[in-house]
Amino acid sequence: MTDFRHLEVRPTPQTFVARVRGVDLSRPLEAAVSAELLAAWARHPVLVFPGQRLDPAALQAFCGVLGPFGHDPYVEPMPGFEHVIEVRREADETAPIFGSLWHSDWSFQATPPSATLLYGAQVPPLGGDTVFADGYAAYESLSPVMQELLAGLRGVHSAAPSYGPRGLFARDDESRSMRIIVSPEAENTETHPIVRRHPVSGRRSLFVNHVYTIGVEGMRADESRALLEFLFKHMTRPEFVHRHRWHADTLVIWDNRCVVHYADGGYEGHPRLMYRSTVAGERPAA
């Protein structure tokens, strides 16, 4: 357990993840508690808060503790809650699972969200894990030669593979319960450093992902594909990965600037409902 006065923070064996107790997130937080929470998040990019009772209003209110709200495109928010999305899947749904490939949320934006908050409102009895990978450790384990090669390179990010007219969700069947928007705007691109410096911790991490990083600026398609495939495989090696098994009334916060994740399946025949919100970020910098 780490040295906090107001929170109980217990790192997991993969120290980029920690479990936090001793705080009720449904109530306004004292300044000292908020400061410790932010300090814990700077040390551990994934925080797990078991035993929280949060409805959409409480989640939206708590999100403001971490910063201003992010912009969540292509998915309609809950009625009455502009900054909360229902990540819903019905028991008989056959459409692809939302978020089922490694990604960093909305990395195709000019200023991708710093944090995502996900709350387990209705958790199936099996499956439905969220799997995280540590971009810090992945970068730091690279050879100095590879780190030097990546310095200055910029990845090309786009929402087209998911939300474009020819993307994954354009091929959905009618069983999809989430309200997803397909748009030609998803074909726009943004470039970000492949190695990103965190604005709080100062550490460098890999900032590429399977879903939204579609190329490397200035490289031919075959060159960028080879480099990105190496990085994708490297950053999701078992030693960098943590599998979170959900229980009802648990909130998880993760840092999109240094963590990638995906949603696992395995709960066919059971409904699953999560509430999700994001915190605004800054333009990635090397």
Task: Show which residues are catalytic.
Answer: 103, 105, 261, 276
Residue 213 and residue 192: Cα distance in Å, rounded? 9
Pairing of strands 17-21, 46-49: parallel
Q: Does residue 277 contact residue 69 with C-beta atoms inside 8 Å?
A: yes
DSSP 8-state assignment for residue 236: T
User: Regarding beta strands 251-255 and 115-122, do their DSSP bridges make them parallel or antiparallel, or are they unpaired?
Assistant: antiparallel
The answer to whether 90 and 83 have CB atoms below 8 angstroms apart is: no
Report the alpha-carbon distance of residue 240 to residue 84 in Å, rounded. 29
**Residue found by looking up tokens 């509430």 in the block:** 275
Closest CA to 277 of 107, 77, 79, 101: 77
Token digits of residue 115: 């944090």
- To 10 degrees, the CA torsion angle through 181, 183, 187, 189? -60
Q: Are 278 and 115 in contact (CB under 8 A)?
A: yes
Element (H, E) at 260: strand 259-263
